[in-house]
Amino acid sequence: MMRWGWIALLALAPSAHAAPAAKQGHFDVDKGKAEWTLHYTFSDERNKPRKLDVTLPTGAVAKDNETKLQVPKAAAVKAQVAAVRRYAKRTKGPDISAKAQNGGVSISVRGKSAARMQDALDGAKAAAEGALNVYLARHRYTRLKNGGIVPDHARLADQYADDVMPLADALAADAPDARTYVARALAFTQAIPYEAGKNRADRGYRRPLSVLARNRGDCDSKSTLFLALVRARHPELGATVVYVPNHAFAGVALEAQPGERSFEREGVRYVGMEPVGPAKVRVGQVSGASGWHLFWGSAEARALKTGVVVDPGEVPTEPLPEVPEE
């Protein structure tokens, strides 16, 4: 049985009790046929009230709002089962079968030669693994070093930079430098209400335009939005999403000031930031747990990549037959 794990990123910033709450004074939305206009008021990096009116295309907002919050596990497993069955049809020798079972792929091999059966099983597993990799790439998911599957936040932040440009431009008004802009984008993102299900259950990942339009999101959803805002106005700044158990936060390659938490990954030094809220945590401050994992090197960072990005629609796939759960 091949299984794969989805990691939920749930946590509020654990330092929330030590900082004042980020304030969002008002939010409403005018839903037009061609455009949605979002109206916000929030307290900026200097606790100054600011008002923003942001217009986004209706179609783009609708697409984000309709995207499933949870990873479509069943569809991914179907892709794996179909890939194994295609492999079985073109492989001579042992009989290979596959089915969806208990959230994973069950592969069976029958034959007379143990060596040939093992080769067939290895090939079937490789086919399933390849199909999963294609599926994840098409739907913008990625695997962490511990094997867990999460949305590809770094890639999504890069891709959404153009989509959030109207908001980025509004936030950049009278921001004299990159540090001021980053601090303001951080304060805006922290002020968006935190989203959690009943009994603080994970609601899943919400893409940036849905975070804005629905005015809610969790740690990885808000971190993606924040990093997209940074990339939109300051693509010269290195930026990264950081993973620790049950939480995600961000890093931006600003010059660290005294007292700010910074960390280095692959030759780039980042200043840590907590976009999640509801605490209004300034640039260079991270939660105790985040700082602990940074100190011990157990935090995994994924940097945003610039340049040409292959549209997931260009990844070749074959039509997938319906595979019932058994």
Q: What size, in residues, is the chain?
A: 326
* Per-residue pLDDT at 69: 84
Distance (Å, whole) CA 267 – CA 29: 43
* Per-residue pLDDT at 308: 38
Q: What is the pTM of this model?
A: 0.85
Phi, psi of 7 (to 5 degrees): -105, 125
Token look-up 């945590």 returns 281
Helices 219-233 and 178-191 sit at what angle, rounded to 10 degrees?
150
* Per-residue pLDDT at 309: 40
For the chain, list the domains and their CATH numbers: 14-70+151-312 (no CATH), 73-138 (3.30.70)
Distance (Å, whole) CA 196 – CA 194: 7
Q: Which residues contact 282 (CB under 8 A, 6 or more apart)?
A: 45, 183, 186
Block means of pLDDT (10 residues each) for the chain, length 326 residues?
58 51 86 96 93 96 90 88 92 90 90 90 93 90 88 95 96 95 97 79 85 95 97 96 94 96 94 92 93 91 68 42 40
* Per-residue pLDDT at 66: 92
Token look-up 């299900």 returns 197
* Per-residue pLDDT at 17: 44
Distance (Å, whole) CA 313 – CA 37: 29
